[in-house]
Amino acid sequence: MKFWAFDSAFLVASLALALLSLPVSGQSNECRAVRATVAPRMDGRLDDPCWQNIPRITQFTQRELQVGLPSTERTEVAVAYDEQHLYVAVWCYDQNPQALIARELRRDFDYTLDDNFIVVVDPYRDRRNGIMLVTNPVGARADLQIFNNGASTNAYWNGVWDVRTTVNDQGWFAEFVIPWFTFKYRVGVDEQEWGINFERNIRHKREQVRWQGWARDHRIEQMNLAGALRGLRQLSQKQMVEIKPYALGGGEFKPEQRRPVGNWGGDINYLLNPTYRLNLTLNTDFAQVESDQQQINLTRFPLFFPELREFFLEGDDYFNFGFGGNRIIPFYTRRIGLDDQREAVPILTGARLLGKEDDRTLGLMSIQTRATANQPSTNYTTASWRQDIGGQSVVGAMTTNRLTGDRWHSTNGINGRYSTSQLWGNKNLEVGGALLNTYATDQGWNAQATAYRFFVHYPNDRWSVFASAQRGPEAFEPEVGLMLRRGFREQFVDLGYRPRPKKSTHWVRQYDFRPVQLTHTQYDDNGAIQSFQYSVQFLGLDTKSGESLSLNHGVVGEGLRAPFVLSPNLVIPEGLHWWRQSTARLRTFKGRKLALDSRWAWGQFYDGTSVQTQTELLWRSNRYLGFNLRFEHNRIELPLGSLETNLVGTRITYALNPQVFGSLLGQWNSAQEELNFNFRLQVIPAVGKDFFLIINQLYNTSTSKWVPTRGTVLGKLIWRLVV
């Protein structure tokens, strides 16, 4: 099967569209900030004189369930500021406050489950990047960074800010306070103009309302749709140094071996000005990071584990090659601080500079690791440049380098993206791509070590289309990246049709039909099939009560050039294998105390059959305690024998208040016959200061008796000082 004609035509069309640059209108409504002579008390009561005679935002429009209609509950917002902080006051009136859903207290809570209020701010007013702050009626906090007009976000970012809430018989009310140094904004400007938007989710009504950008094709993360925040005058332009030392102590326990564990280090964050921030780190430690969620691999390709370490996640978008997808990850930060055996490699020191000036975004990071038995001392240095074009489009370049002794390896690339949210009035369209090459001093220049990816994305409410073409030749080797496939070229198409019933009383909120979901992957050297998958989602729907159902059927093909060892007793011969498979998924509304998410897959598997089930049960008994149970079962029957695997995971989350919370994670995998417990307690005595208690314990379950293999007990204190 040959797809070269499609491939070439697709590349030409993508490049042509990417060169377009349409002007984007920045017209929007206005929110006025008022300077407060006396700072409001942070208690969530909103009875301070500061809030009594101040302009309020009152026009909120439904995005769900009845698009374009006024909100059924009154919502008001006011903004004030002083020399040190920005303040946002929110009045969320509710005719039935007893129905409010608020069962989360912990930091970085899952705000999709509760009633909540969202503030998004674009301080630089570039209509691309910003931050999102979220709270619920009981004062839980969540935040994230927004990049590329919502194309990507960083949910692991933890900004310095606070919020207080109250609930009474009129509804619930919130008071945000954000220091100026949390934002990056323009310097040398007497009066600032920022972007700002607000969203309220009335979860018990399944209602979502916004101030701006409430069309169903638009998301709150699209900063170009935000309103204008004006009235901010003479903001602080001064430099600031934030010092965050840490101390770590505890012990590690193995059979017949116990040893103390201790370490110290810290970070220095130097705010050169409101635009550029320099981060320095010494003896970087990640003890508080939660364990990876275990996975069972039934494919011949490696698994992907996401980055969970805050230091690397905070600048994630600055060091993103723009390659997208999950086949090739050119810069995979888990290569830093972890060796090929997934053992920790100590980080001695590092520096990072992030900032934006005019229409240019710059990033620079350099990390030096300590030598270990498995890996010599290594330097990782990466730099990126991005230039804004037009209203939402961008071009950029990036380099990532690894220096070990006399050997130097480098991955270099360019990327670009044309983006608009005003196609045919208010439709979204993205067209982009990236081109990469790898080089090593012991291999020399090789033009064949070049990979590419180009895509077209039309992400809208009724119709959605995504198409991409990419290539990763055998010679392409990003040593500070991750290759899930090698020596391949691939075409992908996903077409979705999501109509909504015209009758407002209909119990279905939206249907989801996907007549084309095609992935065609070829070996790069001869064009033979490496993998093929075509599926049709012939039924998909979301109900107004929050449930969803989907049914799929498809054809799968795998071209094996060598025998595939599924297990020691099951070896699948080389050759081209075809089979058919069906899947079904049922999800109930997660805002309830008890929610279910279950997926089934059944049908053929190579020259046999398989049945796979994945079930997740969520029980939130109250705002202080929640339980999550995950179970995965796979049963494969082949002519040579059978294989059965099980994975069980449970997570217990608890919170005494928004400043004291934690979790207990337990996982057991029958393939590894290992039980893993991870306990975390986090205490926030003040915003920016943290104490962690971490307990990890591993058990070998290959016998009838659990045998402890390794355990750690650690305490970590992080303190924040501002100079």
Question: Which residues lie below 8 Å from residue 61, measured CB to CB, with a gap of 6+?
Answer: 68, 69, 70, 71, 209, 210, 211, 214
Nearest to 552 by CA among 524, 533, 566: 533
- Read off the pTM: 0.84
Using alpha carbons, list the distances in angstroms from residue 279 to 32, 241, 370, 563, 596: 33, 10, 20, 49, 42
Taking residues 296-323, what's their average pLDDT?
A: 82
Is residue 34 within 8 A of residue 53, CB to CB? The reply is: no
Q: Are 187 and 527 in contact (CB under 8 A)?
A: no
491 pLDDT above the threshold of 70? yes
From start to end of 658-701, where are the E strands? 660-669, 674-686, 689-700
Count CA within 13 A, CB hemisphere, residue 233. Answer: 5
What pLDDT, in 10s, does the model give residues 12-41? 343 333 333 333 333 348 999 999 989 999
What residue ranges do the domains of the chain occupy?
36-233
User: What pLDDT does residue 317 have?
Assistant: 80
CA distance 261 to 711: 12
The β-bridge relationship of strands 171-179 and 207-210 is: unpaired
Least confident of 155-159, 346-350, 433-437, 682-686: 155-159
Q: Give the Cα separation of 492 and 522 in Å (integer).
A: 12
Strands 191-202 and 207-210, bridge-based pairing = antiparallel
pLDDT at residue 177 is higher than 80 = yes
- For residues 665 and 657, the answer to whether their CB atoms sit within 8 Å is no
Residues 6+ apart with CB under 8 A from 345: 336, 337, 338, 339, 369, 370, 372, 374, 375
Q: Is the model's pLDDT at 564 over the cut of 50?
A: yes
What is the rounded average pLDDT for all residues in the chain? 89
Cα–Cα distance between 323 and 344 in angstroms, integer? 27
Instruction: Give residue 4's pLDDT.
Output: 40
Q: In Å, what is the CA distance from 662 to each residue of 161, 626, 658, 665?
A: 20, 11, 10, 10
* Per-residue pLDDT at 172: 97
Fold of 36-233: Immunoglobulin-like (2.60.40)
Residue (of 332, 315, 321) closest to 267 by Cα position: 315
Residue 504 has a pLDDT of 61
pLDDT at 11 exceeding the cut of 70:
no
The per-residue pLDDT for 135 is: 97
Reading the block at residue 605, the tokens are 């598997």
What percentage of the chain exceeds 90 in pLDDT? 61
What CA–CA distance (Å, rounded) separates 195 from 291?
Answer: 37
* Among the listed residues 416, 276, 266, the one whose alpha carbon sits nearest the alpha carbon of residue 353: 276
**Which of 262, 261, 230 is CA-nearest to residue 246?**
262
3-state secondary structure of 14: helix
Which helix (H) or strand (E) covers residue 489, if one does? strand 488-497
**Angle CA(640)–CA(644)–CA(648) in degrees, nearest 5?**
165
pLDDT single digits (tens) 502-531:
876 678 999 999 999 999 999 999 999 999
